């Protein structure tokens, strides 16, 4: 075991100050960071606990505008009645994450940069904005690759915000052990047209599925994807699924997501 300094931040400004000490990392739910520390994939000198900062918590729905604090738990996202009316697909997505213990402890802010997590697909498909303590970043510019985002040194995600779509759906093919998405597809139809994002499958992280978007723009129905094939060249291959199988699953999950959106 290696030594690590623990700090409990009292505010976002306090957390930003503490992040400047050594190789510090933020700690909220710890669902991503703690396992990484256990396997030595991460070895921060300091942990800055932001889980007690009330300003990072909560869900507000104002008309079509939805804002979710970065410290809001998956359970809260899955059960919030206003969110379930505004964007039931996002509430459904949160209900699929891990198990009850994970959903009650994990928060929406930390898994946004995880390439196999569910939220990146939602953020990209919804055209969300990632709000930090310094600026606002459009989801299309936020995700830079596998485990890579547009966040700069000392920048802290404080909230995500988006306009509720007319229709949306999310389905994933789950790893039976971890419940991570082997392939997850979020589809949304709104004022900006049809957007489809895929998580868990791309070898460069979350991505938009342009061929599926084009097909659904003509006809927002699962039947519009009959016969469509996604290229396997950019898909990930690992012990859970080959690139070819993931390419196939993207279309299957997209069909299920569209069917859910149209219910």
For residue 258, give the nearest of 168, 152, 129, 150 by alpha carbon: 168
What pLDDT, on the 0 to 100 scale, is given for residue 147?
Answer: 78
Helix/strand/coil (H, E, C) string of 15-30? HHHHCCCCCEEEECCC
Digit-coded pLDDT (tens) for 179-229: 889 999 999 999 889 999 999 999 999 999 999 999 999 999 999 999 999
Conformational region of residue 17, where left means phi above 0, alpha means psi within -120 to 50, and beta covers everything else = alpha
| Domain spanning 57-261, CATH architecture | 2-Layer Sandwich (3.30)
Q: Which two tokens stand for residue 186?
A: 């979020």
What pLDDT, on the 0 to 100 scale, is given for residue 86?
Answer: 98
Q: How many CB atoms lie within 10 A of CB 81?
A: 10
For residue 221, what are the contacts with CB-CB under 8 A and spacing of at least 6? 258, 262
Give CATH for domain 5-49.
3.30.43.10
What pLDDT, on the 0 to 100 scale, is given for residue 39?
Answer: 86
Q: How many CA atoms lie within 13 A of 91 on its CB side?
A: 16
Q: State which residues of the chain have pLDDT below 50.
A: none
Q: What is the DSSP pairing of strand 207-208 with strand 193-199?
A: antiparallel
Every domain of the chain with CATH number 3.30.43.10 lies at 5-49
Supply the DSSP symbol for 121.
H
What pLDDT, on the 0 to 100 scale, is given for residue 20?
Answer: 86
Every domain of the chain with CATH number 3.30.465.10 lies at 57-261
What pLDDT, on the 0 to 100 scale, is given for residue 1?
Answer: 57
What pLDDT, on the 0 to 100 scale, is given for residue 59?
Answer: 98
pTM value is 0.94
What pLDDT, on the 0 to 100 scale, is given for residue 155?
Answer: 92
What pLDDT, on the 0 to 100 scale, is given for residue 41?
Answer: 82
């Amino acid at each position: 075991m290696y030594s690590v300094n623990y700090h409990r931040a009292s505010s976002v400004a306090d957390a930003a100050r503490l992040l400047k000490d050594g190789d510090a990392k933020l700690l909220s739910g710890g669902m991503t960071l703690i396992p990484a520390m256990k396997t030595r994939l991460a070895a921060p000198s300091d942990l800055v606990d932001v889980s007690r900062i009330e300003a990072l918590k909560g869900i507000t729905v104002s008309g079509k505008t939805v804002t979710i604090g970065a410290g809001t738990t998956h359970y809260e996202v899955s059960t919030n009645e206003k969110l379930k009316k505004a964007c039931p697909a996002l509430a459904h997505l949160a209900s699929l994450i891990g198990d009850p213990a994970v959903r009650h402890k994990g928060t929406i802010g930390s898994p946004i940069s995880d390439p196999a997590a569910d939220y990146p697909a939602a953020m990209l498909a919804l055209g969300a904005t990632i709000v930090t303590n310094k600026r606002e970043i459009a989801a299309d510019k936020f995700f830079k690759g596998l485990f890579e985002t547009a966040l700069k040194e000392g920048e802290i995600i404080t909230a995500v915000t988006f306009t509720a779509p007319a229709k949306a759906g999310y389905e994933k093919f789950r790893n039976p052990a971890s419940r991570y998405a082997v392939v997850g597809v979020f589809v949304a139809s709104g004022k900006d047209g049809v957007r489809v994002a895929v998580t868990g499958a791309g070898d460069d992280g979350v991505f938009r599925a342009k061929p599926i978007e084009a097909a659904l723009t003509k006809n927002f129905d699962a039947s519009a994807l009959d016969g469509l094939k996604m290229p396997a060249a950019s898909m990930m291959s690992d012990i859970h699924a080959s690139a070819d199988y993931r390419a196939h699953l993207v279309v299957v999950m997209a069909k299920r997501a569209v069917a859910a959106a149209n219910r």
